[in-house]
Structure 1
Amino acid sequence: MAVENIFKELHISYHDLQLGVVTLDSDLNSEQRTQLQENLHTIGFELIDDKNTRIIEKIKLLIIDYTRQPYDFLNKNLSEILSSNLNVEYSSLSALFSSVTSISIEKYAIIQKIEYIKELLIYDELSLAEIAEKLNYSSTAYLSNQFKKNTGLTPTQFKNLSDPTALRQTLDQVK
């Protein structure tokens, strides 16, 4: 809503506004672009208009969907999902992503999954077995091993911390 309000306030017309993406009705002039950048910056957003940066952001959004809703993507691996959604060969996407972010797509997906597991552990509504099932892990042991490898803690140790939220990263902090 905050982003939508900025577009209305600046009288910039658009025909589609979704999480992370706005489709404009026409190109912005330099004054509109500058004002939009400033207004977005004040609420913690940035204007992304570089083609490669847009692709990276789309990859990240698809990975977030993939890690948080794995049953929406059953029988498809991440490379297929990215390639089909972005209409680009996975090898090209992988090379671009690695060159810009300095980590692989696979590592980014694991980091996103680990952050989601942390969130679910903090909420304490699901058992570890239920979390493993929800995230489509083959076993609780595999989830625990991957969690410890990436955090240095077992899920139980993480859950028992006095302030586990201090070890969480927000979606935009995950690099």
Structure 2
Amino acid sequence: MKAFLKFDYNLLTKKILEDKLTSFGYKFSILGFGEIEFYENVPEDKIEELREEFLKYGITIIENQKSVLVQKIKDAIHEMVYGEEILNVKVSVYLAEKLNHSYGYLSNLFSDITFTSIENYVIIQKIEFAKQLILNNKLSLTEIAFRLNYSSVAHLSTQFKNTTGITPSAFQRIISKRRDKNQ
């Protein structure tokens, strides 16, 4: 038997952070996605314990300011792609306004640290979300294209095929066949 799950990455991560930080007994506030403020000094050995505990969940404590900004770029892109609200704005404008830096600076920094462009990262995130939406089987390709802010289904299909090697329609057929086979 298979079960298909839908979950909110942001909510899940926030809950894990709250639970783990509360268990450590320090007063804190989650300022934004990926940013925590402690209201008291936390000894380095406790930070190391937190670091080890968070790593179990794929969460890393970042100390380098450039890496922090790159993580904020990734978080903002996740908000754009996975968020409930459809944002009809260019990624460059959204990131520049949200992070208070020029897009040129953000783009260069992101490329230097991650060895890929913001544009490629956005495409990968959109295609991963498109796969999830196709798996949920509730939206048509037209609706998925709209949801992901593509100008057309053809544009979505082109990027999907360039990224995965198959078209969204072929992906749907494969998923359908697997579901039929497992029933």
Distance 1:70 1:13, change over 3 A: closer
SS at match of 1:73: coil
1:81 and 2:94 matched: yes
TM-score (norm 1): 0.83
1:22 and 2:30 matched: no
Say whether the 8 Å CA contact 2:86–2:148 is kept in structure 1. Answer: no
User: Which string of whole-angstrom CA distances, capped at 9 and with x for unpartnered residues, describes residues 91-133 of structure 1?
Assistant: 1111110011110001100111111111111111111111112
Q: Distance in 1 between matches of 2:55 and 2:177?
A: 29
Say whether the 8 Å CA contact 1:13–1:25 is kept in structure 2. Answer: yes
Shift of 1:18: 4.6
Aligned mate of 1:101, from 105, 114, 118: 114
User: Matches of residues 120-131 of structure 1 in structure 2 within 5 Å?
Assistant: 120-131=133-144
Q: Which AA in structure 2 matches 1:20?
A: G
Aligned alpha-carbon RMSD (Å): 2.3
Q: Which residue of 2 aligns with 1:171?
A: none
Shift of 1:69: 4.1
1:37 and 2:51 matched: yes
1:60 and 2:74 matched: yes
Q: Which residue of 2 aligns with 1:149?
A: 162
Aligned mate of 2:172, from 159, 163, 171: 159
Could you list the runs of 5+ residues in structure 2 that have no partner in the other structure?
A: 1-14, 179-183
1:92 and 2:105 matched: yes
Distance 1:71 1:39, change over 3 A: closer
Aligned mate of 1:140, from 144, 153, 160: 153
Q: Which AA in structure 1 matches 2:147?
A: K
TM-score (norm 2): 0.80
Say whether the 8 Å CA contact 2:161–2:167 is kept in structure 1. Answer: yes
Q: Between the two structures, name the one with larger relative contact order (CA 8 Å, sep ≥ 6).
A: 1
Give percent identity, aligned residues only.
34
Q: Distance in 2 between matches of 1:151 and 1:39?
A: 34
SS at match of 1:160: helix
Could you list the runs of 5+ residues in structure 1 that have no partner in the other structure?
A: 166-175
Aligned mate of 1:46, from 52, 60, 66: 60
Number of matched pairs: 164
Say whether the 8 Å CA contact 1:128–1:140 is kept in structure 2. Answer: yes
